[in-house]
């Protein structure tokens, strides 16, 4: 026996096998699937080696069919063997018997293919409709799978826990919950007998990589030694971090790089170990390569540094009790439960409050699979899936209607067959086979569409969906959107389901007919059939389509209204022609250490000097009107801290306040109005008295009804000894987060006094994206070690902040459009066929001088009734169903009357039009010709 080299089969084969194996009973699969898989792939490899792609396709079809047949027979045998004890069964015969039971199918297939071939227009339309329905559903399912069903990709993921820091009362604290202050982590790490062991922190951020091409800002995480143990995936190369490296005085100048960094920038061989990276002017030696695909729990890391690196990248942070900076994760000990761990963390937090009397925080733990799913992404995925299912139902109803029309035309054909002795079920089977052929072809095309759909979605998937419930976990990677075996299996399932849904109505309808009368009356006898509320089957189907279309229409209308409202929110600053980007400080500027008071003034001054130089050079560019520096707008706050006191009075439960550090021209450049007092001047800084500017909402919160200028505020985030600052002014409220998030009052400080993020905000004289090139080369000329990142115009940021609603609106709108179109086609269809069928009667009436409106009324009766019931049903359905949309609505009621009115009237007009045009034909019938044709 020859042994082949390991061979990686085309992906579709794995999917095919996965689906095929599902035909077998579970017991059989349990003991045989592994072996069958092995044999299957070795044979596939043979086929690939000695035949063409056509051979592979042939092979797949044969194998699929054989497994389907064997699986079904095993299931049937399993049922008949139950209870009869051991029955060796006949050795002969059953192979042949199985064939006989399916003997008619190929013949039916031929009949179906011939019938469909004769009506190419119908066939193409049907396949397109189904492809759309199936494609949309396969796409929706892959989204659900990625966003909801996919488990965290770590070994024994149920034991990985996220250790939260919450307020003592268990409430979340906007902007501060979750992350821990460094000293707390260090203290908890030292405790023994924890249920969560190992425990690790990660602090995400960026560093500037130089010495490898142009200076670039890359994502990194500063992690404690247990981090990679918590992840639990072995390293392809090198090692993680040791306890020594977690010390600021230790040998911390080591780094782990991501797999893609290693492959992309370091050539991907073992010589990468020991290479030295230049990071923001500091040297780090590579000691390991992280597992493939792992981008850190924050999701953006290309690089990991040991905790000791805080010495250079987070100076002073390890001593700051108030600065919530580091996320904490851990692994549950095998003998511990999550409840026990949660209780223990509570006790630990109690114990720590002795050391930190001011601590207002408690600790808790949640298992990773629990927090893994981003609720917003989950809701949108489910919404998408439901909407997609509705589109599929509309498509099925539509096609079913088309098939019924076809069936009626062929009613004589069926009657002849039955008169000649065809069994009723053979007739049903013929129709089912026909719809199976249609849905299979539609399914194949639909999978193609789903492939495109996934590609489109993964590029449009909004960033806001990526962060797992705000825990710093990036979980839903759009790269995971793939048509894998599960999705293909799901697509096959829908194909079968559609076939049954579509084929059943016409099959039953035809097989129940009175064939003697059908034979006599032929194609003319088509107004018979059961009626419900005055509607025949086809009209009922159209009514259903109208209902579903209305629900989708109203849903997308509501989301679009919220979107419009969001877009018109006043950001509170100028967004037109404003460019923002983050820059790294020059390497000659030392990082700021807030704890070391002796060096602080120098360091802040040198950073502020750098800002000044930058602003002066940018201001000189013709593309720039005015430049300033601060924290990013619309991208969150610099920090959220506590207000310890007002006018010297201590606040017991310090409320949260957001901090933004700004350059003195910030308010002027962004056109933020100064409502009271003044903004900052170049004189405000470490050498003068501490001053603060409040936002209007902060002024209202802390100084209700009085002019806050001249009052004092004590804010936690501060240089020691300068906590108490004088309020010098009040400015208008500005959006720092997404428009629908609850805002926090804001306190502004001068960058000459303290600073966090470095964002440049530039008012340009040309379009912002045109100015980028000049700005970039100016900065490079000033200092080549300065990296720019996150370049965007303010307008882009505004539209990005509505990203998830945009995608939900886009998809719902698309679905609504498709179903309205289908409902219109359905309506058109019943009116047109009603004209055809009543031709004789209508001609007589016209000949006798009937009014045209009466004629129109008669042919449109069915569609009008269908539309009435459909609109009523859809209205009710929308009222009941739009609650699902709540998450995506903003300042828009789910029962918004305007949207409902618009939806109903729009659909009404569409149906009217769809009835009028075919109906008009009835009024133009030439009686003589119509009667002759009979």
Partner 1 sequence: MNDPREALPLTALTYHILLTLADGDRHGYGIIKEVERRTGGEVVIETGTLYHAIKRMLDEGLLESVPSSERPEGEDQRRRVYRLNPWGRKVLVAESLRLRKLLRVAEEKNVIPGEAS
Nearer to partner 1, 32 or 901 (CB): 32
| Helix or strand run (H / E) with residue 734 | none
Smallest distance, partner 1 to C-beta of residue 81, A: 10
Nearer to partner 1, 3 or 334 (CB): 3
Smallest distance, partner 1 to C-beta of residue 88, A: 5
- The b-or-e profile of 178-196 (16+ CB within 10 A means b, else e) is bbbbbbbbbbbbeeeebbb
- Interface with partner 1 (CB under 8 A), residue from 48, 56, 70, 894: 70
Sign of the dihedral defined by the CA atoms of residues 408, 409, 412, 417, in that order: negative
10 Å CB burial of residue 659 (0-12, 13-18, 19+) is buried
State residue 364 phi and psi, 5-degree precision.
-150, 175
Cα 249 from chain centre: 43
Nearer to partner 1, 74 or 500 (CB): 74
Stretch that binds partner 1, among 64-72, 144-152, 209-217, 720-728 (CB under 8 A): 64-72
- Interface with partner 1 (CB under 8 A), residue from 26, 62, 110, 531: 62
10 Å CB burial of residue 420 (0-12, 13-18, 19+) is exposed
Nearer to partner 1, 70 or 128 (CB): 70
Angle at 490 between CA 484 and CA 495, to 5 degrees: 125
**C-beta separation of 618 from 600 below 8 A:** no
Q: Three-state SS for 295?
A: coil
Token output for 371: 């927090």
Total site size for partner 1, rule CB under 8 A: 31
Instruction: Determine the Cα–Cα distance for residues 434 and 402; give it in Å rounded to an integer.
Output: 13
Nearer to partner 1, 93 or 121 (CB): 93
Instruction: Determine the Cα–Cα distance for residues 134 and 147; give it in Å rounded to an integer.
Output: 20
Smallest distance, partner 1 to C-beta of residue 499, A: 22
Nearer to partner 1, 72 or 674 (CB): 72
Angle at 534 between CA 528 and CA 539, to 5 degrees: 75
Smallest distance, partner 1 to C-beta of residue 43, A: 7
Nearer to partner 1, 47 or 644 (CB): 47
**C-beta separation of 643 from 636 below 8 A:** no
Nearer to partner 1, 97 or 616 (CB): 97
Nearer to partner 1, 68 or 902 (CB): 68
Stretch that binds partner 1, among 68-76, 298-306, 372-380, 666-674 (CB under 8 A): 68-76
Smallest distance, partner 1 to C-beta of residue 100, A: 13
Give the footprint of partner 1 on residues 781-840 (CB under 8 A).
none
Smallest distance, partner 1 to C-beta of residue 444, A: 21
Smallest distance, partner 1 to C-beta of residue 229, A: 32
Smallest distance, partner 1 to C-beta of residue 44, A: 9
10 Å CB burial of residue 780 (0-12, 13-18, 19+) is middle
- Interface with partner 1 (CB under 8 A), residue from 12, 48, 56, 68: 68
Stretch that binds partner 1, among 69-77, 595-603, 804-812, 815-823 (CB under 8 A): 69-77
Residue 917 engages partner 1 in binding (rule: CB under 8 A): no
Nearer to partner 1, 29 or 678 (CB): 29
- Interface with partner 1 (CB under 8 A), residue from 51, 55, 66, 857: 66
Nearer to partner 1, 62 or 520 (CB): 62
Instruction: Determine the Cα–Cα distance for residues 599 and 124; give it in Å rounded to an integer.
Output: 77
- Interface with partner 1 (CB under 8 A), residue from 13, 16, 19, 71: 71
Token output for 860: 């449109």
Nearer to partner 1, 92 or 118 (CB): 92
- The reply to whether omega before 198 is within 30° of 0 (cis) is yes
Smallest distance, partner 1 to C-beta of residue 12, A: 16
Give the footprint of partner 1 on residues 136-175 (CB under 8 A).
none
Nearer to partner 1, 73 or 424 (CB): 73
* Contacts of residue 208, Cβ cutoff 8 Å, sequence gap at least 6: 215, 216, 217, 218, 279, 280, 281, 584, 587, 785, 786, 787
Nearer to partner 1, 96 or 652 (CB): 96
Smallest distance, partner 1 to C-beta of residue 93, A: 8
Cα–Cα distances (Å) from 647 to 702, 753, 808, in that order, read 10, 21, 48
Nearer to partner 1, 28 or 908 (CB): 28
Which residue reads 């044969």 in tokens?
A: 62
Stretch that binds partner 1, among 70-78, 147-155, 723-731, 920-928 (CB under 8 A): 70-78
Smallest distance, partner 1 to C-beta of residue 109, A: 19
Nearer to partner 1, 99 or 276 (CB): 99
DSSP code string of 623-673: TEEEEEEESPSSS--SEEEEEEEETTEEPSSPPEEEEEEE-TTHHHHTT--
Give the footprint of partner 1 on residues 72-131 (CB under 8 A).
73-74, 88-89, 91-96
Instruction: Determine the Cα–Cα distance for residues 719 and 690; give it in Å rounded to an integer.
Output: 10
Nearer to partner 1, 42 or 678 (CB): 42
Smallest distance, partner 1 to C-beta of residue 66, A: 3
Token output for 214: 């142009």
Strand partners, 604: none
- The b-or-e profile of 668-682 (16+ CB within 10 A means b, else e) is ebbebeeebbebbee
Give the footprint of partner 1 on residues 210-249 (CB under 8 A).
none
Angle subtended by helix axes 375-409 and 803-837, to nearest 10: 10
Which residue reads 């042949």 in tokens?
A: 96
Stretch that binds partner 1, among 65-73, 142-150, 246-254, 519-527 (CB under 8 A): 65-73
Smallest distance, partner 1 to C-beta of residue 113, A: 24
State residue 116 phi and psi, 5-degree precision.
-70, -35
- Interface with partner 1 (CB under 8 A), residue from 67, 290, 411, 624: 67
Nearer to partner 1, 16 or 786 (CB): 16
Instruction: Determine the Cα–Cα distance for residues 145 and 133; give it in Å rounded to an integer.
Output: 18
Residue 893 engages partner 1 in binding (rule: CB under 8 A): no
Give the footprint of partner 1 on residues 1-60 (CB under 8 A).
1, 20, 28, 32, 34-36, 38-40, 42-43
Smallest distance, partner 1 to C-beta of residue 95, A: 5
Q: State the pairing for strand pair 237-238/282-289.
A: antiparallel
**Residue 110, number of CB atoms within 10 A of its CB:** 11
Three-state SS sequence of 424-475: HHHHHHHHHHHHHHHHHHHHHHHHHHHHHHHHHHHHHCCHHHCEECCCCEEC
State residue 42 phi and psi, 5-degree precision.
-65, -40
Smallest distance, partner 1 to C-beta of residue 65, A: 8
Instruction: Determine the Cα–Cα distance for residues 45 and 68; give it in Å rounded to an integer.
Output: 22
Residue 65 engages partner 1 in binding (rule: CB under 8 A): yes
Stretch that binds partner 1, among 62-70, 289-297, 348-356, 835-843 (CB under 8 A): 62-70
- Interface with partner 1 (CB under 8 A), residue from 22, 69, 780, 920: 69
Smallest distance, partner 1 to C-beta of residue 35, A: 6
Smallest distance, partner 1 to C-beta of residue 492, A: 16
**Contact residues for partner 1, defined by CB under 8 A:** 1, 20, 28, 32, 34-36, 38-40, 42-43, 62-63, 65-71, 73-74, 88-89, 91-96
């Amino acid at each position: 026996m020859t042994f082949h080299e390991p061979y990686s089969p085309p992906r579709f084969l794995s999917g095919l096998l996965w689906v095929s194996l599902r035909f077998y009973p579970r017991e059989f699969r349990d003991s045989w699937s592994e072996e069958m898989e092995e044999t299957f792939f070795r044979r596939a490899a043979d086929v690939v080696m000695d035949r063409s792609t056509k051979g592979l396709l042939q092979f797949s079809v044969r194998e699929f069919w054989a497994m389907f047949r064997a699986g079904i027979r095993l299931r049937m045998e399993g049922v008949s063997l139950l209870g009869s004890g051991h029955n060796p069964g006949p050795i002969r015969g059953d192979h042949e018997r199985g064939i006989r039971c399916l003997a008619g199918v190929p013949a039916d297939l031929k009949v179906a293919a011939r019938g469909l071939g004769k009506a190419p227009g119908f066939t193409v339309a049907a396949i397109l409709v189904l492809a759309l329905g199936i494609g949309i559903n396969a796409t929706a399912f892959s989204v659900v799978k990625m966003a909801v069903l996919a488990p965290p990709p770590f070994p024994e993921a149920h034991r990985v826990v996220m250790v939260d820091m919450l307020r003592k009362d268990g409430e979340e604290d906007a902007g501060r919950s979750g992350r821990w202050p460094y000293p707390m982590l260090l203290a908890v790490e030292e405790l023994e007998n924890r249920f969560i062991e190992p425990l690790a922190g990660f602090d995400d951020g960026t560093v500037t990589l130089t010495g490898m091409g142009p200076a670039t800002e890359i994502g990194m995480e500063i992690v404690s030694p247990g981090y990679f143990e918590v992840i639990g995936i072995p390293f392809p190369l090198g090692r993680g971090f040791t306890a020594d490296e977690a010390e600021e005085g230790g040998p911390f100048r080591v780094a782990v790089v991501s797999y893609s960094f290693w492959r992309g920038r370091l050539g991907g061989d073992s010589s990468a170990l020991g290479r030295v990276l230049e990071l923001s002017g500091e040297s780090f030696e590579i000691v390991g390569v992280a597992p493939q695909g792992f981008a850190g729990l924050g999701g953006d890391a290309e690089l990991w540094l040991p905790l000791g690196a805080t010495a250079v990248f987070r100076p002073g942070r390890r001593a700051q009790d108030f600065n919530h900076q580091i996320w904490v994760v851990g692994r549950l000990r095998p003998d511990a439960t999550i409840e026990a761990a949660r209780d223990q963390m509570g006790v630990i937090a109690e114990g720590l409050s002795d050391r930190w009397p001011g601590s207002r925080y408690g600790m808790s733990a949640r298992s990773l699979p629990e927090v893994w799913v981003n609720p917003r992404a989950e809701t949108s995925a489910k919404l998408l899936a439901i909407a997609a299912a509705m589109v599929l139902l509309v498509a099925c109803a539509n096609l079913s209607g088309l098939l019924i029309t076809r069936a009626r035309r062929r009613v004589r054909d069926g009657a002849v067959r039955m008169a000649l002795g065809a069994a009723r079920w053979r007739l049903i089977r013929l129709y089912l086979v026909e719809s199976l052929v249609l849905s299979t072809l539609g399914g194949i095309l639909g999978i193609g569409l789903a492939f495109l759909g996934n590609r489109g979605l993964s590029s449009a998937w909004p960033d806001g969906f990526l962060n797992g419930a705000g825990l710093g976990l990036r979980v839903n990677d759009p790269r995971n959107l793939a048509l894998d075996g599960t999705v293909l299996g799901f697509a096959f399932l829908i194909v079968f389901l559609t076939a049954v849904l579509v084929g059943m109505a016409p099959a039953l309808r035809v097989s129940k007919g009175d064939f003697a009368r059908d034979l006599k009356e032929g194609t003319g006898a088509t107004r018979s059939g059961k009626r419900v509320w005055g509607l025949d089957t086809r009209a009922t189907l159209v009514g259903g389509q109208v209902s579903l279309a209305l629900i989708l229409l109203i849903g997308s209308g509501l989301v679009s209204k919220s979107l419009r409202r969001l877009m018109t929110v006043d950001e509170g600053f100028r967004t037109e022609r404003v460019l923002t980007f983050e820059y790294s400080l020059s390497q000659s500027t030392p990082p700021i250490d807030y704890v070391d008071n002796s060096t602080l003034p120098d360091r802040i001054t040198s950073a502020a000097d750098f800002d000044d130089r930058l602003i002066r050079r940018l201001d000189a560019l013709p593309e720039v009107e005015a430049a300033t520096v601060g924290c990013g707008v619309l991208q969150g706050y610099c920090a959220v801290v506590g207000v310890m006191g007002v006018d010297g009075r201590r606040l017991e439960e310090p409320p949260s306040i957001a901090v933004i550090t700004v350059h003195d021209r910030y308010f002027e450049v962004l056109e933020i109005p100064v409502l009271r007092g003044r903004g900052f001047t170049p004189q405000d800084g470490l050498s003068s008295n501490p001053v603060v500017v409040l936002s209007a909402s902060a002024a209202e919160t802390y100084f209700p009804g009085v002019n806050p200028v001249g009052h004092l505020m004590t804010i936690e985030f501060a240089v020691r000894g300068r906590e108490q600052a004088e309020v010098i002014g009040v400015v208008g409220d500005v959006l720092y987060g997404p428009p629908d998030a609850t805002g926090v009052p804001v306190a502004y400080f001068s960058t000459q006094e303290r600073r966090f993020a470095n964002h440049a905000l530039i008012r340009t004289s040309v379009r912002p994206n045109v100015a980028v090139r000049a700005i970039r080369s100016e900065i490079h000329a000033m200092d080549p070690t300065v990296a720019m990142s996150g370049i965007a115009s303010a307008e882009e940021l505004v539209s990005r902040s509505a990203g998830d609603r945009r995608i939900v609106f886009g998809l719902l709108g698309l679905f609504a459009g498709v179903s309205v179109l289908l409902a219109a086609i359905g309506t058109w269809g019943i009116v047109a066929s009603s004209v055809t069928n009543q031709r004789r009667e209508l001609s007589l009436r016209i000949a006798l001088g009937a009014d045209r409106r009466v004629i129109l009324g008669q042919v449109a009766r069915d569609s009008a009734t269908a539309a009435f019931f459909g609109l009523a049903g859809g209205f009710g359905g929308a009222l009941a169903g739009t609650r699902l949309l709540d998450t995506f609505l903003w300042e828009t009621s789910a029962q918004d009357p305007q949207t409902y009115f618009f939806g109903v009237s729009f659909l009404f007009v569409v149906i009217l039009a769809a009835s009028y045009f075919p109906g008009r034909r009835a009024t133009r019938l030439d009686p003589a010709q119509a009667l002759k044709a009979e």
